[in-house]
Amino acid sequence: MNDCYSKLKELVPSIPQNKSVSQMEILQHVIDYIFDLQIALESESADQTTPDVVLSLKASDITCSFAEDGGLCH
């Protein structure tokens, strides 16, 4: 599970990379980031314009599966 938190810490831009943060802080940053993405998508669909910033997650960035080792995040 710690690997999953480490991966989230890498992917969410608002989480400080150079300092230790608790799992609860990581989850709060993730929730805030998802909320911000929802707002961006809603405003994009309302405006029907091309966003200045395109956010994308490559399939190689996050791969969640039930692997032989029992891990979820790889």
Q: Hey, what are 42's tokens?
A: 């809603």
Residue 48: predicted pLDDT: 60
CB contact at 8 A, 12 and 33: yes
Long-range contact pairs involving 59-65 (C-beta distance under 8 Å, separation at least 24)? 61/11, 62/7, 62/11
How do the pLDDT tens digits run along the chain, 74 residues long? 889 999 999 999 999 999 999 999 999 999 999 999 999 888 877 766 555 554 544 444 444 444 445 555 65
Residue 12: predicted pLDDT: 95
Residue 7: predicted pLDDT: 94
Residue 5: predicted pLDDT: 93
The conformation of residue 72, written as its DSSP 8-state character, comes to S
Residue 52: predicted pLDDT: 52
What residue ranges do the domains of the chain occupy?
1-12+20-74
